Structure 1
Amino acid sequence: MQQMTQIMANLQAASSSESSRPPAFKTPVIKATEGFDGTQPFKVRSFIQSCQLMSHNDPANFFQDRKKVLYSTSFLIGRAAKWIEPYLSNLTNQDPSYFLNSWKLFESQLFTLFSRVGFFENERKWACIFIHC
Protein backbone atom coordinates (compact mmCIF):
# COMPACT_ATOMS: atom_id res chain seq x y z
CA MET A 1 0.00 0.00 0.00
CA GLN A 2 2.83 2.35 0.84
CA GLN A 3 4.43 1.52 -2.51
CA MET A 4 1.17 2.38 -4.29
CA THR A 5 0.98 5.72 -2.47
CA GLN A 6 4.55 6.50 -3.53
CA ILE A 7 3.78 5.66 -7.17
CA MET A 8 0.72 7.94 -7.11
CA ALA A 9 2.76 10.77 -5.60
CA ASN A 10 5.42 10.36 -8.30
CA LEU A 11 2.78 10.44 -11.06
CA GLN A 12 1.21 13.61 -9.66
CA ALA A 13 4.60 15.29 -9.38
CA ALA A 14 5.46 14.34 -12.96
CA SER A 15 2.16 15.60 -14.34
CA SER A 16 2.40 18.94 -12.52
CA SER A 17 5.96 19.53 -13.77
CA GLU A 18 4.88 18.76 -17.36
CA SER A 19 2.04 21.26 -17.21
CA SER A 20 4.46 24.03 -16.23
CA ARG A 21 6.52 23.50 -19.40
CA PRO A 22 5.78 25.75 -22.36
CA PRO A 23 4.05 24.02 -25.27
CA ALA A 24 6.34 22.43 -27.84
CA PHE A 25 7.06 24.47 -30.95
CA LYS A 26 5.02 23.35 -33.93
CA THR A 27 6.20 23.98 -37.45
CA PRO A 28 3.85 26.41 -39.18
CA VAL A 29 1.78 24.95 -41.97
CA ILE A 30 2.73 26.23 -45.41
CA LYS A 31 0.19 26.57 -48.18
CA ALA A 32 0.22 23.50 -50.44
CA THR A 33 2.03 23.84 -53.72
CA GLU A 34 -0.21 24.65 -56.67
CA GLY A 35 -0.37 22.19 -59.52
CA PHE A 36 2.05 22.79 -62.38
CA ASP A 37 0.96 21.87 -65.90
CA GLY A 38 4.05 22.96 -67.81
CA THR A 39 2.28 25.23 -70.28
CA GLN A 40 3.38 28.51 -68.70
CA PRO A 41 7.19 28.78 -68.68
CA PHE A 42 7.20 31.71 -66.24
CA LYS A 43 5.68 29.47 -63.53
CA VAL A 44 8.54 26.95 -63.41
CA ARG A 45 10.61 28.91 -60.91
CA SER A 46 7.71 29.59 -58.54
CA PHE A 47 6.68 25.91 -58.66
CA ILE A 48 10.19 24.81 -57.73
CA GLN A 49 10.47 27.42 -54.97
CA SER A 50 7.14 26.36 -53.53
CA CYS A 51 8.26 22.71 -53.45
CA GLN A 52 11.52 23.74 -51.79
CA LEU A 53 9.64 25.70 -49.12
CA MET A 54 7.53 22.64 -48.33
CA SER A 55 10.59 20.41 -47.96
CA HIS A 56 12.61 22.94 -45.93
CA ASN A 57 9.66 23.49 -43.63
CA ASP A 58 9.45 19.77 -42.82
CA PRO A 59 13.00 18.33 -42.88
CA ALA A 60 11.95 15.30 -40.82
CA ASN A 61 9.80 14.08 -43.72
CA PHE A 62 11.96 15.35 -46.58
CA PHE A 63 15.43 14.28 -45.48
CA GLN A 64 16.13 12.52 -48.80
CA ASP A 65 16.15 14.06 -52.26
CA ARG A 66 14.03 11.18 -53.52
CA LYS A 67 11.25 12.08 -51.06
CA LYS A 68 11.36 15.74 -52.16
CA VAL A 69 11.20 14.78 -55.81
CA LEU A 70 8.39 12.25 -55.46
CA TYR A 71 6.33 14.65 -53.35
CA SER A 72 6.86 17.39 -55.93
CA THR A 73 5.79 15.11 -58.78
CA SER A 74 2.43 14.72 -57.08
CA PHE A 75 1.74 18.37 -58.01
CA LEU A 76 2.45 17.89 -61.71
CA ILE A 77 -0.75 17.99 -63.74
CA GLY A 78 -1.71 18.03 -67.40
CA ARG A 79 1.21 17.85 -69.80
CA ALA A 80 3.79 17.94 -67.01
CA ALA A 81 2.11 14.88 -65.45
CA LYS A 82 2.20 13.10 -68.81
CA TRP A 83 5.92 13.84 -69.03
CA ILE A 84 6.70 12.35 -65.60
CA GLU A 85 4.35 9.36 -65.87
CA PRO A 86 6.71 6.91 -67.65
CA TYR A 87 9.49 7.67 -65.16
CA LEU A 88 7.25 6.89 -62.21
CA SER A 89 6.91 3.32 -63.45
CA ASN A 90 10.61 2.88 -62.67
CA LEU A 91 10.54 3.80 -58.97
CA THR A 92 12.68 0.79 -58.07
CA ASN A 93 15.70 2.48 -59.66
CA GLN A 94 17.85 3.57 -56.70
CA ASP A 95 20.77 4.84 -58.81
CA PRO A 96 21.79 8.30 -57.49
CA SER A 97 22.21 9.54 -61.06
CA TYR A 98 18.56 8.75 -61.86
CA PHE A 99 16.83 12.12 -61.82
CA LEU A 100 13.98 10.99 -59.54
CA ASN A 101 16.59 10.34 -56.84
CA SER A 102 18.25 13.76 -57.06
CA TRP A 103 16.57 17.10 -56.41
CA LYS A 104 19.18 18.96 -58.48
CA LEU A 105 18.65 16.67 -61.48
CA PHE A 106 14.86 16.88 -61.17
CA GLU A 107 15.01 20.68 -60.91
CA SER A 108 17.31 20.82 -63.93
CA GLN A 109 14.92 18.65 -65.97
CA LEU A 110 11.99 20.91 -65.10
CA PHE A 111 13.90 24.01 -66.17
CA THR A 112 15.17 22.39 -69.35
CA LEU A 113 11.78 21.13 -70.46
CA PHE A 114 9.33 23.71 -69.20
CA SER A 115 11.02 27.11 -69.00
CA ARG A 116 11.37 27.65 -72.74
CA VAL A 117 9.13 30.30 -74.22
CA GLY A 118 6.69 28.76 -76.63
CA PHE A 119 6.58 25.28 -75.07
CA PHE A 120 3.71 22.93 -76.08
CA GLU A 121 0.48 24.77 -76.89
CA ASN A 122 2.08 28.19 -76.60
CA GLU A 123 4.27 27.52 -79.65
CA ARG A 124 1.49 28.39 -82.06
CA LYS A 125 0.41 31.41 -80.00
CA TRP A 126 3.94 32.85 -79.88
CA ALA A 127 4.51 32.16 -83.57
CA CYS A 128 1.30 34.01 -84.38
CA ILE A 129 2.40 36.98 -82.30
CA PHE A 130 5.69 37.26 -84.17
CA ILE A 131 4.20 36.83 -87.65
CA HIS A 132 0.96 38.72 -86.88
CA CYS A 133 -1.60 35.91 -87.33
Structure 2
Amino acid sequence: MTQIMANLEEALSSAASRPPAFKTPSMKAPECFDGTQTLKVRSFIQSCQLIFHNDLENFSQDRKKVLYATSFLIGRAAKWIEPYLSNLNNQDSSYLFHFWTLFESQLFTLFGDPNEFRKAEAESDSSRMKEGGHVSLKISDVRILV
Protein backbone atom coordinates (compact mmCIF):
# COMPACT_ATOMS: atom_id res chain seq x y z
CA MET A 1 0.00 0.00 0.00
CA THR A 2 2.81 2.43 0.81
CA GLN A 3 4.41 1.60 -2.54
CA ILE A 4 1.19 2.51 -4.35
CA MET A 5 1.01 5.82 -2.46
CA ALA A 6 4.64 6.57 -3.29
CA ASN A 7 4.04 5.84 -6.98
CA LEU A 8 0.94 8.04 -6.97
CA GLU A 9 2.78 10.92 -5.31
CA GLU A 10 5.63 10.60 -7.79
CA ALA A 11 3.23 10.62 -10.74
CA LEU A 12 1.43 13.68 -9.39
CA SER A 13 4.62 15.62 -8.74
CA SER A 14 6.04 14.89 -12.21
CA ALA A 15 2.72 15.85 -13.83
CA ALA A 16 2.70 19.14 -11.93
CA SER A 17 6.19 20.03 -13.13
CA ARG A 18 5.36 19.48 -16.82
CA PRO A 19 3.45 22.14 -18.71
CA PRO A 20 0.15 20.96 -20.14
CA ALA A 21 0.36 19.63 -23.66
CA PHE A 22 -1.19 22.14 -26.01
CA LYS A 23 -1.20 21.94 -29.77
CA THR A 24 -2.16 24.90 -31.89
CA PRO A 25 -4.73 24.17 -34.55
CA SER A 26 -3.26 23.35 -37.91
CA MET A 27 -3.57 26.01 -40.55
CA LYS A 28 -3.74 25.90 -44.30
CA ALA A 29 -0.32 26.23 -45.89
CA PRO A 30 0.23 29.34 -47.99
CA GLU A 31 -0.43 29.11 -51.70
CA CYS A 32 2.70 28.69 -53.77
CA PHE A 33 4.07 32.01 -54.97
CA ASP A 34 5.52 32.21 -58.47
CA GLY A 35 6.42 35.89 -58.59
CA THR A 36 4.32 36.71 -61.66
CA GLN A 37 1.40 38.45 -59.95
CA THR A 38 2.47 41.51 -58.00
CA LEU A 39 -0.72 41.63 -55.97
CA LYS A 40 -0.17 38.15 -54.53
CA VAL A 41 3.12 38.86 -52.76
CA ARG A 42 1.35 40.57 -49.83
CA SER A 43 -1.12 37.70 -49.31
CA PHE A 44 1.74 35.18 -49.51
CA ILE A 45 3.69 37.02 -46.81
CA GLN A 46 0.58 37.42 -44.64
CA SER A 47 -0.24 33.71 -44.93
CA CYS A 48 3.27 32.85 -43.82
CA GLN A 49 3.09 35.29 -40.90
CA LEU A 50 -0.19 33.79 -39.71
CA ILE A 51 1.42 30.37 -39.60
CA PHE A 52 4.46 31.76 -37.76
CA HIS A 53 2.28 33.45 -35.14
CA ASN A 54 0.18 30.33 -34.75
CA ASP A 55 3.21 28.13 -34.07
CA LEU A 56 5.75 30.25 -32.21
CA GLU A 57 7.63 27.22 -30.95
CA ASN A 58 8.50 25.90 -34.41
CA PHE A 59 9.08 29.33 -35.94
CA SER A 60 11.13 30.93 -33.19
CA GLN A 61 14.06 31.69 -35.52
CA ASP A 62 14.11 33.77 -38.67
CA ARG A 63 16.04 31.05 -40.51
CA LYS A 64 13.17 28.60 -39.97
CA LYS A 65 10.66 31.17 -41.21
CA VAL A 66 12.63 31.91 -44.37
CA LEU A 67 13.23 28.23 -45.13
CA TYR A 68 9.53 27.50 -44.68
CA ALA A 69 8.46 30.35 -46.96
CA THR A 70 11.11 29.37 -49.51
CA SER A 71 9.56 25.93 -49.81
CA PHE A 72 6.47 27.57 -51.35
CA LEU A 73 8.33 29.54 -54.02
CA ILE A 74 7.93 28.31 -57.59
CA GLY A 75 8.62 29.67 -61.08
CA ARG A 76 10.37 33.06 -61.20
CA ALA A 77 10.46 33.31 -57.43
CA ALA A 78 12.14 29.90 -57.15
CA LYS A 79 14.72 30.90 -59.76
CA TRP A 80 15.51 34.00 -57.71
CA ILE A 81 16.14 32.00 -54.52
CA GLU A 82 18.16 29.19 -56.18
CA PRO A 83 21.61 30.83 -55.86
CA TYR A 84 20.97 31.48 -52.18
CA LEU A 85 19.91 27.87 -51.63
CA SER A 86 23.06 26.55 -53.28
CA ASN A 87 25.11 28.52 -50.74
CA LEU A 88 22.89 27.73 -47.78
CA ASN A 89 25.75 26.34 -45.68
CA ASN A 90 28.02 29.28 -46.42
CA GLN A 91 27.45 31.72 -43.57
CA ASP A 92 28.48 34.80 -45.56
CA SER A 93 26.41 34.26 -48.68
CA SER A 94 23.28 32.94 -47.00
CA TYR A 95 22.60 36.12 -44.99
CA LEU A 96 19.14 36.30 -46.53
CA PHE A 97 18.13 33.18 -44.58
CA HIS A 98 18.99 34.73 -41.22
CA PHE A 99 16.65 37.72 -41.38
CA TRP A 100 12.94 37.32 -42.08
CA THR A 101 12.48 41.07 -42.58
CA LEU A 102 15.23 41.10 -45.21
CA PHE A 103 13.66 38.14 -47.02
CA GLU A 104 10.23 39.81 -46.87
CA SER A 105 11.67 43.09 -48.13
CA GLN A 106 13.39 41.35 -51.04
CA LEU A 107 10.15 39.65 -52.05
CA PHE A 108 8.32 42.99 -52.07
CA THR A 109 11.14 44.72 -53.95
CA LEU A 110 11.49 42.07 -56.63
CA PHE A 111 7.93 40.83 -57.04
CA GLY A 112 5.64 43.46 -55.52
CA ASP A 113 3.95 46.39 -57.19
CA PRO A 114 6.44 49.29 -57.25
CA ASN A 115 3.55 51.77 -57.28
CA GLU A 116 1.64 50.19 -54.40
CA PHE A 117 2.64 52.85 -51.88
CA ARG A 118 1.78 55.71 -54.25
CA LYS A 119 -1.56 54.11 -55.13
CA ALA A 120 -2.49 53.74 -51.45
CA GLU A 121 -1.56 57.37 -50.78
CA ALA A 122 -3.58 58.60 -53.77
CA GLU A 123 -6.61 56.56 -52.72
CA SER A 124 -6.27 57.97 -49.21
CA ASP A 125 -6.19 61.54 -50.54
CA SER A 126 -9.24 61.00 -52.74
CA SER A 127 -11.12 59.31 -49.89
CA ARG A 128 -10.63 62.34 -47.69
CA MET A 129 -12.41 64.44 -50.27
CA LYS A 130 -15.46 62.22 -50.37
CA GLU A 131 -18.09 62.73 -47.73
CA GLY A 132 -18.56 59.61 -45.66
CA GLY A 133 -15.44 57.97 -47.12
CA HIS A 134 -13.59 55.44 -45.05
CA VAL A 135 -10.25 57.17 -44.66
CA SER A 136 -9.23 54.85 -41.82
CA LEU A 137 -9.12 51.90 -44.22
CA LYS A 138 -6.83 53.78 -46.59
CA ILE A 139 -4.62 54.98 -43.74
CA SER A 140 -4.17 51.40 -42.61
CA ASP A 141 -3.15 50.52 -46.18
CA VAL A 142 -0.47 53.20 -46.10
CA ARG A 143 0.73 52.09 -42.65
CA ILE A 144 1.06 48.50 -43.86
CA LEU A 145 3.27 49.68 -46.71
CA VAL A 146 5.52 51.65 -44.40
TM-score between both structures, scaled by the size of structure 1:
0.69
Corresponding residue pairs, total: 107
Whether 1:92 and 2:98 are equivalent positions in the alignment is no
State yes or no: 1:36 paired with 2:13.
Answer: no
Distance of aligned partners of 1:64 and 1:98 in 2 relative to their CA distance in 1, 3 Å threshold: same
Identity of matched residues, %: 69
2-side partners of 1:52 and 1:95: how far apart? 26
Unpaired runs of 5+ residues, structure 2, are 115-146
1:66-81 aligned within 5 A: 66-81=63-78
The letter of the residue matching 1:60 is E
Q: Once the 2 structures are TM-superposed, how far is the Cα of residue 68 of structure 1 from its aligned partner? A: 0.5
Instruction: Describe the superposition over 1:23-78 as per-residue Cα deviations: whole angstroms up to 9, x where unpaired.
Output: 74321211111111111100000000111111111111111111100111001012
Query: Highest relative contact order (Cα 8 Å, sep 6+), 1 or 2?
Result: 1
Aligned 1:50-69 pairs, distance under 5 A: 50-69=47-66
Whether 1:49 and 2:46 are equivalent positions in the alignment is: yes
In 2, Cα distance between the equivalents of 1:67 and 1:24? 23
- Per the alignment, residue 111 of structure 1 pairs with 108
Larger gyration radius, structure 1 or structure 2: 1
Q: Distance in 2 between matches of 1:85 and 1:44?
A: 18
Letter paired with 1:98: Y
Report the Cα offset of residue 85 of structure 1. 1.1
Do residues 8 (structure 1) and 27 (structure 2) align? no
Asked whether the equivalents of residues 37 and 78 of structure 1 are also in contact (C-alpha less than 8 Å), the reply is yes
Paired with 1:73 and 1:111, the residues of 2 have a C-alpha distance of 14
